[in-house]
Amino acid sequence: MNTSDDDNIEFDFFDEPETVEATQRRRLPRLERPGGRGGGERPPRQPLRAPTGLVPLARLVGLIAIAIVVVVGLVFWVGSCQGKSKQAEYQSYAEKVAALAKGDKTLGNEFAKNFVSPGLKQADLETSLQRYAQQEQQAYAQAQQVRPPGPLRAIHQNLVDSIELRAKGLAGLADALANVDIKKSTTGVADALTKQGALLAASDVVWESLYQIPATQQMKDQGVTGVVIPTSQFVPNTDIVSARSFSLLVQRLSGASVSGTPSGKHGNALVSVRVTPQGVDLSTSSAPTLNVSADMAFVVTVEDSGDFQETSVPVVLTIDAGGTPIKKQQTIPLIQPAQQQSVTFSGFNLPQTAFGNKATIKVEVKKVPGEVVVTNNSATYTAFFTLP
């Protein structure tokens, strides 16, 4: 064996095992297919998997849908909050206006009561008017400080103008009285008072026509509900500031003495008494049968039989049907010469003795200052009460 052979042996010895091991590592045992040789049960098939790219896409679509729902919910929530905030803003504004209207109504009623009170003196009326004007000037300043919602800003100015008219009218009435001594001269006084009184009447028209109605419509256009813009009527009875009323006022002031006792013809007369809803007019010459019901009422009509305006006229009705007489009183706030006013008496709780027996009904119009003739102020009637 030569050297060349030795080399070959060494090569064969080391290389051949390595080749066998490599071949074994590369060969894997062959799996038998189900139903192939050897039999046996077929193993369950693994579930198919969705293509890899569809899963992220589905997740993305879901996230987008959730985001849309969240955004829509936020939009509705914000809208709801804005709606509540808007409603609260208008409600707060209306409450401030209501406070102004209430104050003016109270002042107007006081003005009317004082303006037509019997025995009134020029100096007292002038002082009262100056005080009323100062109060209304304060209301004017308060109205300017109110901050209305945006859509009502222009309309709110008409409210301010209405209150300004009231302040100017009251101040003008006070000035008209301050510039003249009515006991010495009445020339032009009634005309001057009428001119200033017209401002008070106009203020009520401005409030209603240029403020309340447009403001209510504007809120309706804005979708605001449940908020009420209040009315405001400074002059409870327009007769108080009429030319005729001021003429009568001047006559009263000029004819007043130091004690305040009025001069001239004063008085009222009882015109009629009607029982409703039966519709029976009481008469001193007959005794009708009156059906007693929950809504039974006596309507008393009175006429000013003098030459002067009368105020705060008491009217008393008394029913005597056995036992304690039932007595009720009403007041006519204002009545002009030759004019008629009515008051209504209701809510009667008649005793058992009133049924079947003749009852006496007396109506009396109380005497006013300066009244001399009182024979036509009262009347006594008889009637029978029965249940229908």
Q: Which two tokens stand for residue 52?
A: 């890899």
Q: Which pLDDT tens digit goes with each residue over 186-199?
A: 889 999 999 999 99
What pLDDT shows up at residue 276? 94
Q: What is the mean pLDDT of residues 305-325?
A: 88
Asked whether the bond before 277 is cis by omega within 30 degrees of 0, the reply is yes
Q: Which two tokens stand for residue 47?
A: 């579930």
More confident residue, 343 or 238: 343
| Side-chain-side CA neighbours of residue 323 (13 Å) | 12
pLDDT beyond 80 at 156: yes
Strand order in the sheet with 340-346: 280-281, 268-276, 297-304, 340-346
Q: What is the mean pLDDT of residues 371-376?
A: 92
Amino acid letter, 314: P
- With bands split at pLDDT 50, 70 and 90, how would you rate the model's confidence at 167? very high
- With bands split at pLDDT 50, 70 and 90, how would you rate the model's confidence at 44? low
- What phi and psi, each to the nearest 5 degrees, are found at residue 326? -95, 125
- What phi and psi, each to the nearest 5 degrees, are found at residue 346? -150, 180
CA 147, 150, 153, 159 dihedral sign is negative
Query: Which residues, in sequence order, are CB contacts of 166 under 8 Å at separation 6+?
Result: 104, 136, 139, 199, 200, 203, 234
Q: Which two tokens stand for residue 171?
A: 């101040």
The pTM of this model reads 0.56
- With bands split at pLDDT 50, 70 and 90, how would you rate the model's confidence at 26? low
Please state whether beta strands 378-386 and 289-291 pair in parallel, antiparallel, or not at all (unpaired). Answer: parallel
Highest-confidence range of 51-60, 126-135, 180-189, by mean pLDDT?
A: 126-135
Question: Percent of the chain having pLDDT more than 70?
Answer: 79
More confident residue, 264 or 26: 264
What pLDDT shows up at residue 335? 86
For residue 378, the SS3 value is strand
Which of 29-38, 126-135, 269-278, 303-312 shows the lowest mean pLDDT across its residues?
29-38
Closest alpha carbon to 112 in 206, 247, 256, 245: 245
Q: Which pLDDT tens digit goes with each residue over 199-237?
A: 999 999 999 999 999 999 999 999 999 999 999 999 988
- With bands split at pLDDT 50, 70 and 90, how would you rate the model's confidence at 251? confident
How many other C-beta atoms lie within 10 A of the C-beta of residue 267?
A: 21
Q: What span, in angstroms and rounded, lies between the C-alpha atoms of 336 and 307?
A: 8
Q: Are 252 and 190 in contact (CB under 8 A)?
A: no
What pLDDT shows up at residue 33? 53
What pLDDT shows up at residue 307? 85
User: Cα angle at 326 between 323 and 328, to 5 degrees?
Assistant: 170
Q: What is the mean pLDDT of residues 32-38?
A: 51
For residue 90, the SS3 value is helix
* Mean pLDDT value across the chain: 84
Closest alpha carbon to 164 in 211, 214, 110, 126: 211
Across 44-77, b (16+ Cβ under 10 Å) vs e yields eeeeeeeeeeeeeeeeeeeeeeeeeeeeeeeeee
Q: Are 335 and 310 in contact (CB under 8 A)?
A: yes
pLDDT beyond 80 at 17: no
- With bands split at pLDDT 50, 70 and 90, how would you rate the model's confidence at 352? confident
